[in-house]
Amino acid sequence: VELLAFLIIFILLVVTSFVTCDRDPYEVLGVRREASIEEIKRAHRDLVRKFHPDKSQTSEDESSRRFIEVQKAFNILKDPIRRSRYDQHGEIEENRHNRGYHQADRSKRNGWSSHAHNGFRTFTFYATSADSFYRKKSVTTQQYYNEYFKESRHRPFLIFFYVDLCPTCSMIESTWVKLTDELAKYNVGTFTINAHRESRLAQELGVSSIPQIACLINGQVYHYYQSEISLPSLVRFIKKSLPYNLVPLLRNEREQDRHIAATTQKNRLSAIIIDDENTTKLRYILLAYALRNHYSFGHISTKQSDYTTFFKKYKLTRGPQSHLLIFNERFDTPLLQFDLNPDNFSNAHYTRQLLSWPFLKLPRLSSQQKFDELCLFGQKIDSFRKKPTLCVILFATSTPSSLPIREKMIDFIELNGLDRDERVVFTYLDPDKQDGFIQSLLDETIATRPKFVTESIQTSIILIERYPMDTRKAHHTWIGNRWNPRLVDELDRAKIELYDYIEAYKHGTFRPKDKLLLAPLADEEGLGLFQRMYQRTIDTISRMAYYLASRESFSAMIILIACATVTSLFLYKSPVTNQFSSTDSGDYTNYCSPEPPEASSGKKSPLHSRNINNNNQLLRQDDELKIIELKAETYNGMVRLLKPGYRSIVVLVDQQTKEKLIANFKTAVWPYRRNKTLLFGYLCLDKNLIWYKTLLERILDCDNLKVNKKNCIGTVLSLNGFKKYLRVYHAKHHEIDYYDDKTDNDGSFLGFDDREHGDLEHGIGGGGGENEFEVERDVTYTADNLLEKLPIWLDK
């Protein structure tokens, strides 16, 4: 029995192991399919702690099984290649046998069996030397996504696509090496990708021929289409690929002052480059691209800009020397000033210098990213310095009315020499723009906050120290006095209290102790919808113009012709040619047109010579709206052969009420005359009462229904011949009572209708004439008001 039980358990474990291999790795880790690698790592770390055999509370076999399952799922999702293969084909384990041949076969399937420039087909011959530049710089798919893709947010990369047997690649190798050495001085990275070995990656990046050059910027790949390969052409290509207007030209004094004054509003330091060049050099644009999250760059050209006032104000002299000026909230003098030497310019050196403290004296917490950069405990903002540990947050708006409050804090920072202290950082937060964060903060600190914070959080100060592992958790302490320049005594007490806390914290005798759970900050600097659309449009137009200029004239002409053709298709409107005619009963295609047909003769319909509204105004006489009679000749086009999504709106009339009802019907449907999915018509009950009776019998599922013609006059049918269903409008129908202004206040819309019988139990008879009908609730219906509520029904 014990042996049998052991065998059963062993078989179950084997089966379970096979099943777990096929389980969805996203389900195992409990993450979404769109989860980032950071979310996957966080979920893996939590599950490993939970199911580790030494720490799990479950049985040893169960914890071991789950632990192995989590590890397998993480190994799949952490590898971009295996994750992509699983997402596209559901493959969990890749074939480990004959991997080289498998790679060659896959390259054939992906279209890399032949190339336009090497002249070889259907086979792969690896002839490139192992010491070649292409082999040394070649990267895999995993390296591309884990390293270069992320680093492209800070600097661009040139990609060279090659194959092992490529005579063209061999001929330009020496030229490419020299070009990459020159571009490396501008902080442009380079790497190569073997299009055979990494065929799937090359296909994803849109490579169509070999060799091919592309530029990777901020995760986007832009291809190089010019036939020549030279340093000037590559520099122009990189400039066009970078975001638009990174370093705008400041032409006059007004633009220069506005650029510096926008420092506080943009929440970034202002940088101005001064030289005698007509265009901004690539090295400066790349510096602005790398520092765009912390600096706002501008360019003053001594050949194109009015620089006289600016030079006098900041005591500069014109000469061949280029300058770089950095400004913070104090506009009177530059914070930093560098003399740039174009012949010995080092992008890494200036990046290091400018990132030593890339913040304002009192930066605004405008996003969660900015909050993490400034106030996250024990983390690093870059490879050069650590983040501060204690965060002082002043609550004040970013409007000019709060400028004195912020100026007092800046004075306090400068007076005590705290502007470059890495242990403490000073920030301010705009409560009007961070409602969610403020409400969460007040709820979390209800037991520790001062009483005046309950009234208004403006001008209050909180000290926060964030956790290293869980960024949502923190310790906090409130300052017991307001930072209000109008109350001098209270401001002095707040200064003394804040200074004492900071000194005690720096000497290790004080740390915030009250726990706090932080809510995420809203992104104030994010572009709105229209701003993103404008930016994307400008970038697209600029790159399209460069693309057209880079291609041969024939290719550019073909693209322009294609664009003109597509535009003409959108702007072209075909004339209305289909007509309804009683003599065209054999050709039903004429009746399928949703457009109202034109009259076949020059005579005007008698309906157009009458007044069709209560104000005695004449409708337009151009016959835009046709009301077609539903009869045997038009039945196919209006009902039976109606296209999907099209409907026919038909009013029921008789000979006596025909003219008046059709006129009112035309007035009601006039706003829908240009709707291409609607046909409008009328049905004469004198000749077609049997058809309408048959329709009602099929709907109500009854036989020998007695139908009074006068009760049916004024009914409107919405017919869908494709799906074979209809909707009915009638003045007495209960759906319309809800919209009746005369009866809205009698309580019937809530169900407080004490009548013994509904309107539908009574006919429309009992009137004083042929066109007059009496109903309950003392409402008289005539041919003039039967269609009074039809526009409401049509809208509904």
What is the residue extent of each domain of the chain?
Answer: 21-89, 133-241, 253-356, 368-517, 628-729
**Domain 368-517 coded CATH 3.40.30:** yes
Q: Under CATH, domain 253-356 is a member of which superfamily? A: Glutaredoxin (3.40.30.10)
With 90 as the cut, is the pLDDT of residue 307 above it? Answer: no
Both tokens of 207, joined, read 């490579």
Cα distance between residue 390 and residue 374, in whole Å:
9
DSSP 260: H
Report the pLDDT value the prediction gives residue 130, as an integer from 0 to 100.
54
With 80 as the cut, is the pLDDT of residue 735 above it? Answer: no
Cβ atoms of residues 646 and 679 within 8 Å: yes
For domain 628-729, give the fold: Glutaredoxin (3.40.30)
Alpha helices in 209-269 (DSSP H): 231-241, 253-261, 263-266
Q: What is the pLDDT of residues 388-405, one digit of tens each?
A: 578 999 999 988 888 999
Amino acid at 95: N
- Report the candidate in 453, 479, 464, 581 with the shortest Cα–Cα distance to residue 519: 464
Cα distance between residue 727 and residue 293, in whole Å:
59
With 50 as the cut, is the pLDDT of residue 232 above it? Answer: yes
Correct CATH for 21-89 of 3.10.450.50, 1.10.287.110, 3.90.1640.30, 2.10.109.10:
1.10.287.110
Please compute the mean of the pLDDT values over residues 771-776 and round it to a whole number.
42
Report the pLDDT value the prediction gives residue 241, as an integer from 0 to 100.
87
Report the pLDDT value the prediction gives residue 793, as an integer from 0 to 100.
85
Cβ atoms of residues 120 and 165 within 8 Å: yes
- Band of the pLDDT at 11, cuts 50, 70, 90? low
- Band of the pLDDT at 54, cuts 50, 70, 90? low
Please compute the mean of the pLDDT values over residues 192-219 and round it to a whole number.
89
Q: Three-class SS of residue 174? A: helix
User: How far from the centroid of its chain's Cα atoms is residue 444's Cα?
Assistant: 32
Report the pLDDT value the prediction gives residue 734, as an integer from 0 to 100.
56
Domains 21-89 and 368-517 share a fold: no
Q: Scan for tokens 């207007």, then name that residue.
A: 245
Q: What is the pLDDT of residues 628-679, one digit of tens each?
A: 889 888 888 888 888 888 889 999 999 888 888 888 888 888 888 888 888 8
Cα distance between residue 743 and residue 726, in whole Å:
27
Correct CATH for 133-241 of 3.40.50.2020, 3.50.50.60, 3.30.70.360, 3.40.30.10:
3.40.30.10
Cα distance between residue 163 and residue 181, in whole Å:
22
Cα distance between residue 468 and residue 379, in whole Å:
7
Rounded CA Rg of the chain: 39
Question: Minimum mean pLDDT among 304-308, 376-380, 544-548, 715-719: which range?
Answer: 376-380
With 60 as the cut, is the pLDDT of residue 564 above it? Answer: yes
With 90 as the cut, is the pLDDT of residue 496 above it? Answer: yes
Q: Which residues on adjacent β-strands are paired with residue 429? A: 395
Report the pLDDT value the prediction gives residue 229, as an integer from 0 to 100.
85
